[in-house]
Amino acid sequence: MMPRLFDSSAARNATLVRLGAGALLFGTVAVALVTVAPSVTDPAWIRSVVTAAGPFAPLVFVGVQTVQVIVAPVPGQALAAVGGYLFGTVVGTAYSMVGVVLGSVVVFLLARRFGRPYVERVVDADVLARFDEFADRRGAAGLFILFLLPTFPDDGLCALAGLSPLRLRTLVVLVAVGRLPTFALAAAAGQSAEASNYGTTAALVVVGLGASAVVYHYRDELAAVAG
């Protein structure tokens, strides 16, 4: 059973009002930003911004990867490919994982603090409908399998985890291990693209998609084994 999050209904209502106001403000800013500067969702534009940061490029990249988990403007794997392009496979993967873990911790703690009302505001209803029961039924093993899927949004996964009894340190391990394979593949593809090895880039993308399809198809069986 989850611990009680609010001391009274009044405290709960006050929190919901603050969350609603915050969500409205964030949505307004996000829509305005994408309308005025649609390039913020373009990995190529992000690459140019990171490159322009010079010696601070690693910090900028980690920050962007952290933010993408929290607000999800662009898929994390796309940014991982940018990291591979800029820093190489090993270093780019390391920077991506640092950012993803940091962002995942933030989302997890927000969901843990504000509960399901917060999660229902920030996670797509279809995502909740499709995977909420699976994650609840399979526990940490189920969450680990979902982290292996590159198409599953980081914010949704971490928000679901925040509703569970999962410990923060367990989440960090699940994120670091579960996301590593696809982020490393994406970084390798980015490095291959930088070297103009487009055949290798395409092969890595195909391998990643194929492996993800297998994991998704056998998710219940894999979760049972992992559990």
Q: What pLDDT, on the 0 to 100 scale, is given for residue 37?
A: 42
3-class SS of residue 197 = coil
Tens-binned pLDDT, residue by residue, of the chain (227 aa)? 333 444 556 655 555 555 455 444 444 444 444 444 444 456 677 778 788 888 888 998 999 889 888 876 567 788 888 899 889 999 999 999 999 999 999 999 998 888 888 888 877 777 677 666 666 676 777 778 878 877 677 777 888 888 888 899 999 999 999 899 989 988 998 888 888 787 887 887 777 777 767 666 656 565 554 55
**H or E element at residue 152:** none
Classify residue 39 by its DSSP letter.
G
3-class SS of residue 195 = coil
Give the C-alpha distances (Å, rounded to integers) separating 210 from 84, 100, 165, 203, 213.
20, 23, 32, 10, 5
> Global pTM?
0.72
CA angle 66, 68, 70 (to 5 degrees): 80
